[in-house]
Amino acid sequence: MIMPVEIKELVIRAVVAPPEGAPRARAAAPDAAGLEAVVEAAVKEVLRVLKASKER
């Protein structure tokens, strides 16, 4: 007997580390426009996910 399985949510986490011995570079602080763009993109994605979950 074969039964289909529906995956409702998939969470993927990753840890990225530089190779051992690689010089560490300091990250530049994001400017206000860049930070605003990131926040705007995050809000749009959250709203898209919420809308999709309500349509189910």
Counting residues of the chain whose pLDDT is more than 70, the rounded percentage is 84
Find out whether 38 and 30 touch, Cβ atoms under 8 Å.
Answer: yes
How far is the C-alpha of 56 from the C-alpha of 47, rounded, in Å? Answer: 15
Angstrom distance (rounded) from CA 45 to CA 5: 26
pLDDT cut 90: percent of the chain above it: 16
Q: What is the mean pLDDT of the chain?
A: 82
Structure tokens at 15: 């840890």
Segment 26-56, tens digit of pLDDT? 666 668 888 888 889 999 999 998 898 887 6
Model confidence, pTM: 0.46
* CA angle (11 as vertex; 43, 24 as ends), nearest 5: 80
Question: What's 25's DSSP letter?
Answer: P
